């Protein structure tokens, strides 16, 4: 059994016989007819109710309660209180005209130890949420895993342990059995790169480990969990249900045209992108990545017979998350920049390419200090289409954090976010014009929320949340996006 990617040949990701819910024909706005306009959240970032109805700690509960891990000591204990206020939030979604809501399920709420039967009261929350969405005419899009592994599974070894992939498959069956008759679109994993490389490499995300070998083992087992999850979903869901995975693909650019910078970009593409797209879409892991990291892991032991076939189980849509490009260069040997946009750490998440230098792009920046550059989204979508022309795409996260505040008149004006969204939606429209099969767009995020290691210091929401009162105030960008949805495209 070889772990590496074949030199030629690829397979489209769409499942044979799949019936996409969105037509690829374009409307007068330049977006496909039936294009899905939505917004997204994640369970630990918005739900709160951290100890209610049987929920036990996830790795993010543990991480956020560890002094020094999250800015200001913030936790997701209450967050945006979506668990109790979901009806109010669904009413807001309906008011904005959302066609879809992408939410994630808290594994610890459904299966507290990561093993055994489901807690019905945990599933009941998602049943109520889905029913409310359907009553409002909003398509529910469920993500099974958005980084909140049950702490007991981490204590047993976490994602570097192969058994965690088996536990994920069991968990997927529980959720699909409860919601499969009402949820038409399913995502296995959100941004597994962050789970593996930020969680186990740089340690800036939960569980906060800094073990280069563990990153690669975690990445493989996340890939395996996805494949097993799709197989479980296919066995339980209606034939017309769609399956997907969401990747935060890095749009990697060399700083200069030098051969050294081009090589640096290739290496970061391998460890940032093709560690997932290789086995998912091309049949194996990149040969150079395997060669560089063999001193860290025994790939022949890690990738067992049948693994690559499981990982490559056909799925229907590839979710693409994009915020900003990644600019790299060869190391100059002294004073290399480590500002990769993923948080400060003495440990690199770029396993096998720790010596590559990262650079900030010029121009306007968001509150995250990320460059505003919509061309990267266009490039990602068109290059994915060129490499995998049979693979439908969906932008599952795109948005920006700015320093929002409520005016004395009670409004939240955020023209920078409107400009950001406009330019990125124009990039999507242009990618469609250039042939990319893009089926939808999900704004990140519906609500201001717990922004991981930044706590509540960064606001990505289209809806402002006053955390003290939990009052919701739609920002100017929310009203702008509602008009985009109403028109089915950008203003003229």
- Whole-angstrom distance, CA of residue 463 vs CA of residue 457: 15
Look up residue 315 and give its DSSP letter.
-
Among the listed residues 47, 154, 191, 451, the single catalytic one is 191
- Whole-angstrom distance, CA of residue 99 vs CA of residue 56: 32
Catalytic site includes residue 397 = yes
Contact between 38 and 101 (Cβ < 8 Å):
yes
Q: For 436, left (φ over 0), alpha (ψ -120 to 50), or beta?
A: beta
Among the listed residues 47, 154, 397, 416, the single catalytic one is 397
117 strand-pairing partners: none
Contact between 102 and 41 (Cβ < 8 Å):
yes
Contact between 122 and 159 (Cβ < 8 Å):
no
Helix (H) or strand (E) holding 318: strand 317-321
| Helix residue spans in 312-371 (DSSP H) | none
Question: Rounded to the nearest 10 degrees, what angle do helices 375-387 and 415-433 cross at?
Answer: 30
**Alpha carbon distances (Å) from 204 to 63, 207, 210, 220, 247:** 10, 8, 9, 20, 19
- Whole-angstrom distance, CA of residue 166 vs CA of residue 310: 12
Catalytic site includes residue 426 = no
Write out the DSSP string of 181-245.
Answer: TT--EEEEEE-HHIIIIIIIII-SSTT----HHHHHHHHHHHHHHHHHHHHHHHHHS-TT-EEEE
- Whole-angstrom distance, CA of residue 360 vs CA of residue 354: 17
- Cα 182 to chain centroid, rounded: 22
- Give 137's contacts (C-beta < 8 A, 6+ positions apart): 94
- Whole-angstrom distance, CA of residue 64 vs CA of residue 434: 43
- Whole-angstrom distance, CA of residue 358 vs CA of residue 370: 13
Token pair 């260069």 is found at 329
Cite the active site residues: 191, 397
């Amino acid at each position: 059994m070889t772990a590496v990617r074949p030199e030629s040949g690829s397979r489209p990701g769409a499942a044979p016989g799949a019936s996409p819910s969105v037509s690829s024909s374009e409307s007068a706005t330049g977006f496909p007819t039936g294009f899905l306009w939505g917004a997204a959240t994640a369970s630990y970032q918005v739900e709160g109710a951290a100890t209610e109805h049987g929920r036990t700690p996830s790795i993010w509960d543990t991480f956020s309660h560890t002094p020094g891990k999250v800015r200001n000591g913030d936790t997701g204990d209450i967050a945006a209180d979506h668990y109790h206020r979901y009806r109010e939030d669904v009413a807001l979604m309906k008011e904005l005209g959302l066609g879809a809501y992408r939410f994630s399920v808290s594994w610890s709420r459904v299966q507290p130890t990561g093993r055994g039967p489901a807690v019905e009261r945990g599933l009941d929350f998602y049943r109520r949420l889905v029913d409310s969405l359907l009553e409002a005419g909003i398509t529910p899009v469920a993500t099974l895993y958005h980084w909140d592994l049950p702490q007991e599974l981490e204590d047993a070894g976490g994602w570097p342990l192969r058994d965690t992939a088996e536990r994920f498959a069991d968990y997927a069956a529980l959720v699909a059995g409860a919601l499969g008759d009402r949820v038409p679109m399913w995502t296995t994993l959100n941004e597994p790169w962050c789970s593996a490389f930020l969680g186990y490499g740089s340690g800036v995300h939960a569980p906060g480990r800094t073990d280069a070998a563990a990153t690669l083992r975690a990445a493989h087992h996340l890939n395996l969990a996805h494949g097993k999850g799709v197989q479980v979903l296919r066995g339980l869901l209606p034939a017309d249900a769609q399956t997907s995975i969401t990747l935060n693909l890095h749009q990697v650019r060399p700083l200069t045209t030098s051969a050294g910078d081009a090589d640096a970009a290739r290496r970061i593409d391998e460890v940032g992108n093709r560690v997932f797209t290789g086995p998912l879409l091309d049949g194996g892991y990149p040969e150079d990545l395997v060669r560089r990291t063999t001193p860290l892991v025994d790939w022949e032991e890690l990738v067992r017979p049948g693994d690559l076939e499981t990982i490559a189980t056909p799925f229907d849509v590839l979710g693409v998350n994009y915020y900003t490009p990644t600019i790299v260069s060869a190391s100059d040997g002294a004073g290399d920049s480590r500002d990769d946009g993923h948080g400060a750490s003495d440990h690199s998440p770029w396993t096998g390419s720790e010596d590559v230098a990262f650079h900030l792009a010029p121009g306007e920046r968001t509150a995250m200090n990320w460059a505003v550059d919509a061309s990267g989204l266009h490039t990602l979508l068109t290059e994915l289409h060129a490499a995998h022309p049979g693979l439908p795409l969906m932008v599952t996260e795109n948005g920006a954090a700015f320093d929002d505040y409520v005016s004395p008149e009670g409004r939240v004006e955020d023209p920078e976010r409107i400009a950001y969204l406009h330019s990125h939606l124009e990039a999507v429209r242009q990618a469609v014009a250039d042939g990319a099969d893009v089926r939808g767009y999900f704004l990140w995020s519906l609500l201001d929320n717990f922004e991981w290691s930044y706590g509540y210091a960064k606001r990505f929401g289209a809806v402002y949340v006053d955390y003290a009162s939990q009052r919701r105030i739609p920002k100017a960008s929310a009203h702008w996006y509602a008009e985009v949805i109403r028109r089915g495209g950008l203003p003229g």
